Amino acid sequence: MAAGCAYNAGEKPLEIGTGMRALVVEDENAVASFIERGLQEAAFAVDVAGDGDAGLHLATTEYYDVIVLDLLLPQRDGFSVLRALREQGIATPVICLTARDALDDRVRGLNLGADDYLVKPFSFVELLARIRAVMRRGQTLADNPISVGDLTVDVVTRAVERSGQRIDLSAREYALLEYLARHAGEVVSRTMILERIWDMRHDPKTNVIDVHINRLRRKVDAGFDSPLIHTVRGCGYVLKAG
């Protein structure tokens, strides 16, 4: 039986985190795993750092769509992490976690460039709502929708059109296409795609990417004179016009 059918059958409905990477910087294991599990269920690819130094290192060397940052951390506190990120021009949305009644902390965090804060203890639904809000703000980009030739990908509404014709995609197909569109003209490796869209690190044998690239080609390129999805043999894929 084709792997494509199995993947198709198991495909979840569109989740807020599909194709998104989140970093959680939190030293309390129970809180960190609570957030990690919740975000994974919402389809985020999640990294966790247990102290401020590790958090800052990941936040400056990897790409994330959102950072959940506890303020009270060993090594380097959350304020210091936030200040260092903003000083380095890293504008990733940051949601700070603060202790109850720590109003000064919230004000200080927001002044340092936090996008929002949550007071512990909080429900996961609340956290997800904040994440949704800061990501929506971040997505009102000047370059939305993304255009590649006659293809447009609207990252806010997730509407995809080619030559004015609407293209219906599954959640995974959309996430893959948006990722390619955000990197239009650049070769995107299979490893990057696996990490970013499937949160898989070490399964080079999986054919999940081929299956989805083939489906995207049928939907995006079939029937048009010039294909937009190109295979770069031995490297990966690139989305480009001509």
Q: Hunting for tokens 């504008």 — which residue is that?
A: 91
Residue 157 contacts by C-beta under 8 Å, 6 or more apart in sequence? none
# of chain residues touching Ca ion (CB under 5 A): 3
Kindly compute the dihedral angle of the four CA atoms of residues 196, 201, 202, 208, in this order, to the nearest 10 degrees. -30
Of 76, 72, 44, the closest CA to residue 60 belongs to: 76
Q: Pick from 27, 77, 150, 154 the residue near Ca ion by CB under 5 A.
A: 27
The whole-angstrom separation of Cα 191 and Cα 234 is 12
Residue with Cβ nearer Ca ion (27 or 161): 27
One character per residue 112-131, x = contact with Ca ion (rule: CB under 5 A): --------------------
Map the footprint of Ca ion across residues 48-107, applying CB under 5 A.
70, 72
Least distance from C-beta 96 to Ca ion, angstroms? 11
Least distance from C-beta 65 to Ca ion, angstroms? 23
Q: Hunting for tokens 């512990």 — which residue is that?
A: 120
Least distance from C-beta 77 to Ca ion, angstroms? 9
Q: For the packed helices 124-139 and 29-41, what is the interaxial angle rounded to 10 degrees?
A: 60
Residue with Cβ nearer Ca ion (72 or 167): 72
Residue with Cβ nearer Ca ion (74 or 223): 74
Q: Nearest-CB residue to Ca ion?
A: 72
Cβ atoms within 10 A of the Cβ of 234, count? 7
Least distance from C-beta 78 to Ca ion, angstroms? 8
Burial class (CB in 10 A: 0-12, 13-18, 19+), 59: buried
3-state secondary structure of 42: coil
Least distance from C-beta 202 to Ca ion, angstroms? 30
Residue with Cβ nearer Ca ion (72 or 192): 72
Least distance from C-beta 54 to Ca ion, angstroms? 13
Residue with Cβ nearer Ca ion (49 or 155): 49
Write out the residues near Ca ion by the rule CB under 5 A.
Answer: 27, 70, 72
